[in-house]
Structure 1
Amino acid sequence: MERLHNSVRPYAWGSRTAIAELLGRPVPAPHPEAELWLGAHPGAPSRLVDEEGVHRSLLEVLGADPLGQLGADCTQRWGERLPFLLKVLAAEEPLSLQAHPSAEQAAEGYAREEAAGIPRDAKNRNYPDPTAKPELICALTEFHALAGFADPQRTVGLLRALDVEQLRAHTELLAGQPDSDGLRALFTTWITLPQAALDQLLPHVLDACVRQVKDRGEYDIECRTVLELGEAYPGDAGVLAALLLNRIVLRPGEAIFLPAGNPHAYLHGTGVEILANSDNVLRCGLTPKHVDVPELLRVLDFSYGRMPVQTGEPVADNLFVYRTPAPEFELSRLQWPEGGGSPVSLDHVGPQILICVEGSVLLRAEDGSELALAKGDSAWLAATETPVDVRPATPGGTLVFRATAGACTPAA
């Protein structure tokens, strides 16, 4: 067990309060703080801190002893690479609308761009690495997002309620084919509109959304979202695309899994995010960055319906697991009410990262060694360091998140 020191990413959409409060630093922070990264991503690896205060890069530690740190099953599948990245994400403003490729799409796209000689850090590079990027977001505060295509019948109802003359042909296109093919046709139409056409259409859509918000009708939250996005990203096709997506509000402890091809945008709130250790992003809009429309349409999944919301499956006293099909990661929640409760024994066979987000806990290994984690503290548990008991160290409510690899079954 070793304490972690982690990097904060200062993206413009971040919060000046959420991560600073978590880490016990002065509030407000001098600049927006968007993400706290816990893991071994080459761009910002965590550092292990020993009892003497000496720092070592987790990335270098894994390279020096992959078998001891990651375990036999994990190294057989993932090599020296930690397959997951854990984040605390704090969104004060909306992130870009985006989707991620499947493992097969990522491998093919990476090979194609390598063969074309596109530098991996080029702004028009879609695939800087050959791996998939599924992810799961679990809310720490009320968390707002767009994710997945909504049922086309509901979208037709929304578009008809807006009653925008310039949208009428688009509305009837989807009404005549209210399925995945209709969604693909309408999304493609909107995402490829010339800028002059967007500049003419969007003001009418925004005016209609204002009317809907004043009436507080069935589509109030969708229209409020479009207005917020229209103000933040004027003239952006992603504002129209938002009309096609599920508008989701997560309560603390609730989570959604975002598989390959799922269009999504985080809008506001603080959450714990776990994802495959990859940088592959295909942007759909709400961004000044590169949008490769043909590649995006190749990757997008136009299936539709409400996004399943998880609350965590109870697997032991005070331990809840968020199940997904992603082999790269699994997120667990360790939670004790006021007054404490029984300890949780962690006997996972692979690597683990823990972060305490409320209260404080004491970690005790089988050899008797201990490590205390207060709010904002985090720890690395190598594969050889289990079992470890985790128990609350304060009488108030306590909340810890644990990241592990998923089912580390060796690849065929």
Structure 2
Amino acid sequence: MSQPAIYRLQCKTQSYDWGKLGSESKVAHFASQSGAPVDPSKPYAELWMGTHPNAPSIVIGNTATDDQTSLKSLIENNPHLSTQAIHDEFDGDLPFLFKILSIRKALSIQAHPDKVLGARLFKDVPSIYKDPNHKPEMALALTPFEALCGFRPLNEITQHLEKYPEFGELVGPQITHNFISTVADNTSNEDNNKHVLKQLFSSMMTSSEEDVSRLLKTLTCRLSQSPASELDELDQLVLRLDQQYPGGDVGVFSALLLNYVVMAPGQAIFLGANEPHAYLSGDCVECMATSDNVVRAGLTPKFKDVNVLVEMLTYRYGSAESQKMNPVPYGSRSLLYDPPINEFSVILTKLDANQDEKHPSIQGPSILLVARGAGQLTGEALKTESDFCLKEGYVYFIGAGTPLNIHADSEQGLELYRAYKA
């Protein structure tokens, strides 16, 4: 019998404090489709689909394997499923980690190092930075989704220094003056703008805990005493973040510097190396290079590496809308989200009842998640039984070089996300 090229996976959940509770979580809902029980009081934050050793996916429901075969073991024993080149380059692992995130409260203000910085941090502080890799990532909204992403346009930051005097007091009058005057100077170049932006961010992030706590209390008390009808979107966000991380977390002030990005289902953002961000709420599909390297500096009780974060950032700035990706058509009913990195891309396929879609052969390995609906999957190149059931929450590994036929059933539509390395 020929080696199969499609395998259904059982994937593991991760429970972090910021995750949605019980059945409110897409993570828990998807995991339950493979028989996992759901605890209504437990936060279900992430579903991991891949070969990462912290939560490796297991092959299920295939006569060629037993239920305890890990996806990594499958690939190691059958390198052609990944291609020999990808297998060798990534030591039998997939080049990417595919996830579902369900977010109840804000994640930390953070950035991910590039490969050069990642290697240095791993060498210097291996107890904190566990590998030498970079960690670019992409988030595609499953439900309405909020994030902080990249620095705001500089004129918006100027407006916030004026609107929120506590912000200006925190960074100091001289840095506030330098920033506002540089931004107002039409002859100022981008290097000068980035320099004063870095000064502003550095001053904020290195402020004393006493000053942060005192000024946040002043700010939130002032906003709380205003009529609700007078609070704008940013006012409400500041109050919400302070409630989620009480006691004076400098990350709350970051909302005045970083873009507040709101995404509808199907919209996406790409988070490249050395760019500040924080997920705030909602459910998303996330794909990332396989790494655990995170440099945190706010909205977290975990270790904050402020000096490294301040020095590593690019200090690029732009609008919230400019942070969103522009997908391109793929096939007749799919969209391709193709970030400027080599480790992964993601295809989103949406079908109405009885519709079909073809995915041509992809050179490398892929993982497919059914996010909604039901249908059938057929791998054209297979010489074995090749019809696979598609149901909400089902996850499949697709071997390299396998063209797919996808069919939505007669009553429901179908929504699929497929991460791959070409």
Length-normalised TM-score, structure 1: 0.89
- Please report how far the alpha carbon of residue 152 of structure 1 lies from its aligned counterpart in structure 2 after TM superposition: 1.5
- Please report how far the alpha carbon of residue 258 of structure 1 lies from its aligned counterpart in structure 2 after TM superposition: 0.4
Kindly indicate whether the alpha-carbon contact (under 8 Å) linking 1:84 and 1:275 is maintained by their aligned counterparts in 2. yes
Is 1:297 the counterpart of 2:310? The answer is: yes
- Please report how far the alpha carbon of residue 162 of structure 1 lies from its aligned counterpart in structure 2 after TM superposition: 2.5
Is 1:316 the counterpart of 2:331? The answer is: yes
* Corresponding letter in the other structure for 2:263: L
1:258-308 alpha-carbon deviations (Å, 9 max, x no partner): 000111111110010001110000002111111112221232221111243
1:315-357 alpha-carbon deviations (Å, 9 max, x no partner): 21111101211111111101113x3323222410110100001
> Structure 1 residue aligned with 2:215, among 191, 198, 201?
201
Is 1:225 the counterpart of 2:240? The answer is: no
* Corresponding letter in the other structure for 2:8: R
- Please report how far the alpha carbon of residue 27 of structure 1 lies from its aligned counterpart in structure 2 after TM superposition: 6.7
Secondary structure at 1:37's aligned position in 2?
strand
Counting only pairs closer than 5 Å after superposition, residues 10-409 of structure 1 correspond to structure 2 as 10-16=15-21, 17-18=24-25, 19-22=27-30, 23-24=32-33, 29-52=40-63, 54-65=67-78, 67-113=79-125, 120=126, 122=127, 125=128, 127-164=129-166, 166=169, 169=173, 171-178=176-183, 179-210=193-224, 214=228, 216=230, 220-234=232-246, 235-306=248-319, 307-310=322-325, 312-337=327-352, 339-366=353-380, 367=383, 369-383=386-400, 386-405=402-421, 407=422
Distance 1:213 1:302 in 2: 35
Secondary structure at 1:379's aligned position in 2?
strand
Kindly indicate whether the alpha-carbon contact (under 8 Å) linking 1:212 and 1:223 is maintained by their aligned counterparts in 2. no
- Aligned CA distance change for structure 1 residues 249 and 28 (closer, same or farther; 3 Å): farther
Runs of 5+ in structure 1 lacking a partner? 114-119, 408-412
Kindly indicate whether the alpha-carbon contact (under 8 Å) linking 1:352 and 1:381 is maintained by their aligned counterparts in 2. yes
- Please report how far the alpha carbon of residue 208 of structure 1 lies from its aligned counterpart in structure 2 after TM superposition: 4.2
Kindly indicate whether the alpha-carbon contact (under 8 Å) linking 1:133 and 1:279 is maintained by their aligned counterparts in 2. yes
Distance 1:232 1:297 in 2: 24
Secondary structure at 1:357's aligned position in 2?
strand
Distance 2:177 2:354 in 1: 57
Q: What root-mean-square deviation, in Å, do the aligned CA atoms of Structure 1 and Structure 2 show?
A: 2.1
- Please report how far the alpha carbon of residue 55 of structure 1 lies from its aligned counterpart in structure 2 after TM superposition: 2.7
Distance 2:208 2:348 in 1: 46
Length-normalised TM-score, structure 2: 0.87
Distance 2:315 2:239 in 1: 24
* Corresponding letter in the other structure for 2:238: V
- Please report how far the alpha carbon of residue 215 of structure 1 lies from its aligned counterpart in structure 2 after TM superposition: 5.2
| Percentage of identical aligned residues | 32
More divergent stretch after superposition (177-186 vs 87-96): 177-186
Indicate the residue corresponding to 1:116 in structure 2: none
Kindly indicate whether the alpha-carbon contact (under 8 Å) linking 1:360 and 1:394 is maintained by their aligned counterparts in 2. no
